[in-house]
């Protein structure tokens, strides 16, 4: 197939999608402000700053996708008058607005924590009265990796929370969910409506940034069918094509949806080595109109993000069962610049590998030495 896929964004997700596309003889182009982006080695990059950049980008490909849910809708609207975009505009618009996202979850009977819209200090005070404390106050638009959020625990924090987030405009106040762990389900839907899901990933964060994911999530056999049902409802309702991610909290009352991401996801990077067909390849297959591949797990896998500083490649590659992925990004505090996939044979081997990695990584975040698979 000699098809070209245009991707809004040129970061590591676009890079890994393009890497998955090449064996299928599918080329990728990118629309990105920084023409020296991680995806630049994989195909032409059209600058968002160029006068005719968007139209040149639209001309460059047959069908389009994206790597970032905050892709400007104004650009999407220009594109979709001429070419097809997967996932659909509706999914993108909903994911960009947390209140619309919660309303969709409600409509599809996907459980969420109680929430209220907040547009003034008085409405914030009312939300505190109605929801109780603690609550998580978030901007309705933007924000990722813990940005654009304020955990409000006491009444005397109300003024501070409003001062910090109020200028952003419309906010959402959510009841604080008591949960035992965070998981995510990733699924893909083809143009023909075929849906496939990968096993739940158990996700661990440090300072709002994903540290590592374990797949399949331990002790999740009863959670998997519920999560699959929720994400399938979303995919079919939106007439979605491509990969979709749903982040969930595990609570005593069952699974609560946190948010969805209309794209390939950090918690699915494990699938490059750990599944028969990765999230990246299946996304490319779906967008190109090809049959979907098996999402079956090869064996339990752990993905660990490289944050801020690069380790020595030779140290990582000397570890048995370790796979190294670097994104060609400059080092910066808090920045995801690569990931490592571990494929241990058992929990004891995983513990050994984690201890070794903790000594190798300049910034091991919350990497635990006693993880189990």
Cβ atoms 229, 221 nearer than 8 A: no
Phi, psi dihedral angles at 319 (to 5 degrees) = -80, 135
Res 209: pLDDT: 85
Q: Within a 10 A sphere around the Cβ of 183, how many other Cβ atoms?
A: 28
Res 148: pLDDT: 83
Query: Percent of the chain scored above 90 by pLDDT?
Result: 84
Q: Which run of H or E residues covers position 150? A: strand 149-152
* Reported pTM: 0.94
Annotated binding site: 98, 138, 143-149, 174-177, 182, 205, 258-259
Is the four-CA dihedral 272, 76, 137, 127 of positive or negative sign? negative
Res 352: pLDDT: 86
CA distance 351 to 344: 9
Cβ atoms 32, 21 nearer than 8 A: no
Q: Show the domains of the chain with their CATH numbers.
A: 4-85 (3.40.50.20), 114-175 (3.30.1490.20), 181-360 (3.30.470.20)
The set of residues, in sequence order, having a beta carbon less than 8 Å from that of 9 and lying 6+ positions away, is 30, 31, 32, 39, 66, 67, 68, 71
CA distance 360 to 247: 30
Q: What is the pLDDT of residues 204-253, one digit of tens each?
A: 988 778 989 999 999 999 999 999 999 999 999 999 999 999 999 999 99
Confidence band (pLDDT; 50, 70, 90) for 56?
very high
Who wins on pLDDT, 23 or 141? 23
Confidence band (pLDDT; 50, 70, 90) for 354?
confident
CA dihedral 229→94→70→269, nearest 10 degrees, is: 0
Q: Within a 10 A sphere around the Cβ of 234, how many other Cβ atoms?
A: 22
288: number of CA atoms within 13 Å, CB side? 24
Query: Percent of the chain scored above 70 by pLDDT?
Result: 96
Annotated binding site for ATP: 98, 138, 143-149, 174-177, 182, 205, 258-259
Distances (CA, A) of 287 to 194, 232, 263, 294, 304: 13, 18, 12, 16, 28
| Rg over CA atoms, the chain | 21
Burial 159-179 (b: 16+ CB within 10 A, else e): eebbeebbeeeebbbbbebeb
Residue 259 above 60 pLDDT? yes
CA distance 56 to 332: 32
CA distance 62 to 97: 29
Residue 368 above 60 pLDDT? no
Cβ atoms 330, 336 nearer than 8 A: no
Q: What is the pLDDT of residues 65-123, one digit of tens each?
A: 999 999 999 999 999 999 999 999 999 999 999 999 999 999 999 999 999 999 999 99
Q: What is the pLDDT of residues 20-48, one digit of tens each?
A: 999 999 999 999 999 999 999 999 999 99
Token pair, residue 50, equals 């160029």
């Amino acid at each position: 197939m000699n098809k070209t896929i245009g991707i809004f964004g040129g970061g590591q997700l676009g890079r890994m999608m393009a890497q998955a596309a090449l064996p299928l003889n599918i080329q990728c182009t990118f629309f990105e402000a920084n023409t020296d982006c991680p995806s630049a080695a994989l195909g032409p990059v059209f600058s968002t700053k160029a006068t005719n950049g968007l139209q040149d980008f639209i001309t460059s490909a047959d069908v389009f996708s994206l790597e970032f849910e905050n892709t400007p809708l104004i650009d999407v609207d220009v594109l979709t008058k001429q070419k097809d975009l997967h996932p659909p505009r509706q999914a993108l618009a909903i994911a960009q607005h947390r209140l619309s996202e919660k309303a969709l979850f409600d409509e599809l009977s996907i459980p969420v924590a109680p929430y209220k819209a907040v547009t003034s200090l008085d409405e914030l005070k009312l939300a505190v009265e109605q929801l109780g404390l603690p609550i998580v106050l978030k901007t309705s638009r933007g924000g990722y990796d813990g940005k654009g959020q304020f955990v409000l625990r006491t009444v005397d924090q109300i003024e501070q929370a409003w001062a910090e987030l109020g200028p952003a405009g419309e906010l959402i106040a959510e009841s604080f969910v008591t949960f035992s762990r965070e998981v995510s389900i990733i699924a893909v839907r083809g143009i023909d409506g075929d849906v496939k899901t990968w096993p739940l990933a158990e996700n661990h964060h440090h300072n709002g940034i994903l540290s590592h994911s374990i797949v399949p999530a331990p002790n999740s056999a009863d959670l998997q069918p519920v999560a699959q049902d929720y994400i399938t409802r979303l995919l079919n309702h939106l007439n979605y094509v491509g990969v979709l991610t749903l982040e969930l909290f595990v609570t005593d009352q069952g699974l609560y949806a946190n948010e969805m991401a209309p794209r390939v996801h950090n918690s699915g990077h494990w699938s490059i080595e750990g599944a028969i067909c990765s999230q990246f390849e299946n996304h490319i297959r779906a967008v190109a109109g090809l049959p979907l591949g098996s999402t079956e797990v090869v064996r339990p896998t752990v993905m660990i993000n490289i944050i801020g500083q690069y380790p020595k490649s030779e140290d990582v590659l000397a570890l048995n069962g370790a796979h190294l992925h670097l994104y060609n990004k400059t080092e910066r505090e808090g920045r995801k610049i690569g990931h490592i996939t571990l494929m241990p044979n058992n929990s004891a081997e995983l513990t050994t590998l984690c201890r070794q990695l903790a000594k190798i990584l300049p910034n091991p975040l919350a990497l635990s030495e006693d993880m189990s698979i």
